[in-house]
Chains A and B, each alone.
Chain A
Amino acid sequence: MHIMEGFLPHPWWEIWFALSLPVVAYGVHRINRMIKDNRETLPLLAVAGAFVFVLSSLKLPSVTGSCSHPTGTGMGSIIFGPWITSVLAVIVLVYQAVFLAHGGLTTLGANVFSMGIAGPMVGYLVYRAAMRSGLHLFLAVFLAATLADWATYLVTALQLALAFPAASGGAYASFEAFAAVFAITQVPLAAVEGAVTALMFKYIVELRSDVLVRMNVVSAKAVAVLKEAAA
């Protein structure tokens, strides 16, 4: 989902910066407040950030004969919500833009918007809806992380389509062209990301369900149900 350096023309790169900046600023504010109120969340924040580091470094082959990478942001969005997750995405995207020539500084706004904001927003909403409808906790995590990953790539296709509308058919035709590159390639990757995130989430619930309950990520009842199933 990295839009390469210099590949978003004026005014699009400015637009995506303008949309992303306030979200990231608010995310920083939320992190400061969270750490002040509740220091025990700090290790979990580190784990969520590290999870983005690991998953976004893995370029995996897909059924389309091309490679792409998971995002790892589903975990952060489930535990901390999309605002804080956007800050985690900025860290990884800056590292990759500066040292790896993946993505870029001029396209950072757009890439933060797709990977750090739109995807996590979808993941967060899916997780909340799935939990409300009484889905099994790990299934809810799987769905949230899978769809967060997939949504990230659809938003990238949309960003490119808006910047490069086709001569005939306009932005919609180019969206189809970009989505053809990203959407199908990403389906198996998104599913694997969802599965790995569910597993990671299981270990976190096993070890620190107390913190997750206090943060309102899982209900005490859901944890009790899981404990009972294990007993």
Chain B
Amino acid sequence: MKIGSGMKLEALVLGLILLFIAAFAYTASTGNHEWSGADSQAEGVISDLTGGSYTPWYQSIYEPPSGEIESLLFALQAAVGSLIIGYFLGYYRALAKAKAVSAAPEKDGKQDA
């Protein structure tokens, strides 16, 4: 079953992603940015607001020992997610195809009769 008018949505999404990349390229070319995480920038705001007096009362139970290991764990997270999505979409697609194939001979049979 096909839905939507062809690949229109795909084209729109691709366009938006290209726009996103262009915005990144433009921002990167207009100054020195740290590209640090917004989550950690919030820490800076907390320290501004409290005059640096706030100390976290609990530490992470585990921290990735290096940036490389951190990216490994992030990549693992994305890989597991993609695997599950791909598996089920592929399963559904094959299922739909198998149903279509098994339905087709019946039709032919009726035409012959």
How far is the CB of B44 from the nearest CB of chain A, in Å? Answer: 8
Using CB atoms, name the residue of chain B closest to A68: B38
Contact A164 B34 (CB under 8 A): no
Query: If the complex has contacts A101-B63, A207-B93, A208-B92, are A66 and B81 also in contact, measured as CB distance less than 8 A?
Result: no
Chain A residues bordering chain B, tally (CB within 8 A) = 80
Task: Point out the residues of chain A lying under 8 angstroms from B40, CB to CB.
Answer: 4
In Å, the complex CA distance between A165 and B49 comes to 8
How far is the CB of A157 from the nearest CB of chain B, in Å? Answer: 8
Contact A54 B43 (CB under 8 A): no
Task: Point out the residues of chain A lying under 8 angstroms from B60, CB to CB.
Answer: 5, 97, 101, 104
Task: Convert B38-65 into 0s and 1s, putting 1 for each residue whose CB lies closer than 8 angstroms to a CB of A.
Answer: 1111110110111000101111111110
Task: Point out the residues of chain B lying under 8 angstroms from A140, CB to CB.
Answer: none
Task: Answer whether residue A106 sits at the interface, using C-beta atoms and an 8 A cutoff.
Answer: yes
Contact A1 B88 (CB under 8 A): no
Contact A65 B27 (CB under 8 A): yes
How far is the CB of B99 from the nearest CB of chain A, in Å? Answer: 11
Contact B89 A207 (CB under 8 A): yes
Task: Answer whether residue A80 sits at the interface, using C-beta atoms and an 8 A cutoff.
Answer: no
Contact B36 A207 (CB under 8 A): no
In Å, the complex CA distance between A104 and B40 comes to 13
Task: Convert A42-67 into 0s and 1s, putting 1 for each residue whose CB lies closer than 8 angstroms to a CB of B.
Answer: 01101101111110111111111111
Contact A192 B38 (CB under 8 A): no
In Å, the complex CA distance between A163 and B10 comes to 42
Contact A51 B85 (CB under 8 A): yes
Q: A6-B57, A188-B20, A206-B3 are in contact. List 15 more A-B contacts (CB 8 A).
A: A51-B81, A54-B85, A61-B27, A61-B28, A63-B27, A65-B35, A67-B35, A68-B37, A153-B38, A164-B46, A177-B48, A182-B38, A202-B4, A227-B2, A227-B3
Chain A contacts to B: CB under 8 angstroms: 1-7, 9, 43-44, 46-47, 49-54, 56-68, 92, 95-102, 104-106, 138, 153, 156, 160, 164-167, 174, 177-178, 181-182, 185-186, 188, 191-192, 195-196, 198-200, 202-209, 223, 226-227, 229-231
